[in-house]
């Protein structure tokens, strides 16, 4: 697909639908420029252009989904539709079946425009800033390693029921690691719509003093990136259709999860975190339904003032429970009344651990959302309001839900890049959190 090919592909797919009762076509056109560097020098750079078409055919209460990347001419689109229709006829009834949403058949603004595109030239101002950073690092005997990407995705959605929708999604990502001279690294990550609008700085590697501590329970200050990784796990466990999670069949709705006045929400129109204002489901999942493609999204509060108020519901689960349809949204914000920065919270700390980021989070027990994971790229020791040393990275076993119940302070919410989820879920804004009795199971010496 090129030029207006993405739009053409969805229109062609819908027109080619013959034997199915309905059809939804989703075309994604993605252009991406990226950089990698190591040892204060650029190592690779490149530009990619990817096109993908997903066709969902509906036959009664069944659906067939097929997708193809690239090479989508008239014949291949028709073959894709036929394959989806065949898959729908062979599939059994879907538990989330619902009538396809309807539209008025009119083209939305920008429908006929070609897909948005980034270019490698767009990264030139960023590269200039990066080379200055390399020069500074050399002068201080440091080495920088990392990755940056500027991407723009244009999505077209059309259906036999008259839907015509288009969304343009820019995403810029920076992942920067700075090992210190004594071998202890530090990390910083950024997620913004446009990388050229940010000033980058090397992360502070902190003190060289190393302190050994035994496993146990510690007060921990979680930076926004770490909070984002944990809240995304909580969010993905909030599918009302999955009864094997910490939220079960929805019986915990109305339960207070934390005394902290925190609100967790998604909003497609959140400033700086804008995302698609309509549901896009390219495959079957517990937290999304291919039958709901194109349904409008609006601000949804999952936790309000510390109380669980909503779960992720398809139209099918909403109809079964009599509760509102609350689809998953491609951003996540945790907010509260706290106005203190992480630096302010450090200054008011008697003794606590401050991890740089979290990594390798894995489910241990879905019914409690118990996770195991490790910290990555350094843990700082705070004593009497100052960072006095480092401790080794540690392994922990904790549940995001249980941690919310032990929040004793929340700081100022800021946009952040989750370290673990940074390849999949980039639009988050989180506050730093002070957690009591965080369970450290082992230090990784």
Measured from the Cβ of residue 207, the count of other Cβ atoms closer than 10 Å reads: 17
pLDDT of residue 335: 97
Name the average pLDDT for the chain. Answer: 92
Residues listed for the chain: 445
Segment 318-325 shows an average pLDDT of 92
What pLDDT, in 10s, does the model give residues 360-418? 999 999 999 999 999 999 899 999 999 999 999 999 999 999 999 999 999 999 999 99
Predicted model pTM: 0.94
Tokens of 115: 């897909």
CA distances (Å), origin 219, targets 356, 390, 444 = 15, 15, 18
pLDDT of residue 2: 42
State the Cα–Cα distance between residues 215 and 201, nearest whole angstrom.
Answer: 33
Band of the pLDDT at 82, cuts 50, 70, 90? very high
Q: Identify the DSSP state of 282.
A: S
Confidence of residue 437 (pLDDT cuts 50, 70, 90): very high
Whether the pLDDT of residue 71 is over 90: the answer is no
CA distance 251 to 428: 27
Alpha carbons within 13 A on the beta-carbon side of 272: 15
Minimal CA–CA distance to 315: which of 232, 241, 237? Answer: 241
Burial of 320 (0-12, 13-18, 19+ CB in 10 A): middle
Please tell me the predicted confidence (pLDDT) of residue 420: 94
Nearest CA among 433, 385, 430 for reference residue 409? 433
Q: Residue 16 has what pLDDT?
A: 93
pLDDT at 184: 60
The band of 237, judged by pLDDT with boundaries at 50, 70 and 90, is very high
Q: Are 55 and 198 in contact (CB under 8 A)?
A: no
pLDDT digits (tens, 9 = 90+) for 161-205: 999 999 999 999 999 998 765 456 689 999 999 998 888 887 877
Residue 338 pLDDT exceeds 80: yes
What pLDDT score does 182 carry? 47
Tally Cβ neighbours within 10 Å of residue 313: 26
Half-sphere exposure of 6 (CA within 13 A, CB side): 31
Listed residue (73, 55, 74) closest to 64, CA to CA: 55
């Amino acid at each position: 697909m090129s030029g207006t090919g993405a739009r053409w592909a969805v229109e062609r797919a819908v027109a080619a639908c013959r034997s199915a009762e309905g059809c939804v076509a989703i075309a994604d056109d993605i252009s991406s420029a990226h950089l990698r560097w190591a040892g204060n020098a650029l190592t690779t750079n490149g530009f990619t252009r990817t096109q993908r078409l997903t066709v969902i055919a509906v036959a009664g209460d069944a659906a067939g989904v097929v997708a193809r990347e690239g090479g989508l001419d008239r014949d291949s689109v028709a073959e894709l539709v036929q394959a989806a229709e065949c898959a729908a006829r062979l599939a059994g009834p879907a538990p989330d079946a619902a009538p396809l949403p309807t539209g008025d058949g009119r083209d939305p603004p920008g429908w006929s425009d070609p897909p948005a595109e980034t270019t490698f030239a767009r990264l030139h101002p960023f590269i200039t800033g990066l080379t200055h950073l390399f020069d500074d690092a050399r002068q201080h005997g440091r080495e920088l390693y990392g990755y940056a990407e500027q991407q723009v995705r244009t999505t077209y959605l059309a259906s036999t029921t008259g839907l015509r929708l288009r969304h343009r999604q820019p995403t810029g990502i920076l992942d920067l690691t700075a090992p210190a001279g004594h071998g202890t690294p530090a990390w910083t990550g950024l997620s913004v719509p446009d990388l050229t609008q940010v000033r980058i700085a090397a992360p502070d590697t902190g003190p060289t003093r190393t302190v050994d501590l035994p496993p146990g329970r510690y007060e921990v200050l979680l930076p926004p990136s770490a909070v984002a990784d944990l809240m995304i796990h909580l969010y993905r466990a909030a599918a009302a259709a999955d009864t094997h999670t910490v939220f079960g069949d929805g019986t915990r709705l109305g339960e207070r999860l934390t005394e902290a006045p925190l609100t967790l929400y998604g909003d497609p129109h959140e400033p700086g975190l804008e995302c698609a204002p309509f549901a896009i489901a390219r495959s079957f999942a517990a937290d999304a339904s291919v039958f709901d493609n194109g349904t409008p999204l609006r601000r949804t509060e999952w936790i309000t003032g510390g109380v669980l108020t909503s779960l992720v519901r398809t139209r099918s689960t909403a109809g079964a429970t009599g509760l509102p349809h609350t689809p998953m949204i491609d951003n996540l914000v945790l907010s509260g009344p706290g106005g203190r920065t992480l630096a302010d919270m450090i200054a008011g700390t008697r003794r606590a651990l401050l991890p740089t980021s979290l990594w390798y989070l894995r489910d241990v027990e879905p019914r409690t959302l118990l996770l195991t994971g490790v910290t990555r790229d350094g843990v700082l020791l705070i004593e009497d309001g100052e960072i006095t040393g480092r401790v080794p990275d540690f392994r922990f076993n904790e549940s995001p839900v249980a941690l919310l119940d032990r929040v004793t302070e929340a700081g100022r919410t800021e946009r952040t890049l989750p370290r673990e989820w940074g390849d999949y879920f980039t639009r988050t804004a989180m506050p730093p959190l002070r957690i009591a009795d965080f369970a450290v199971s082992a230090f990784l010496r």
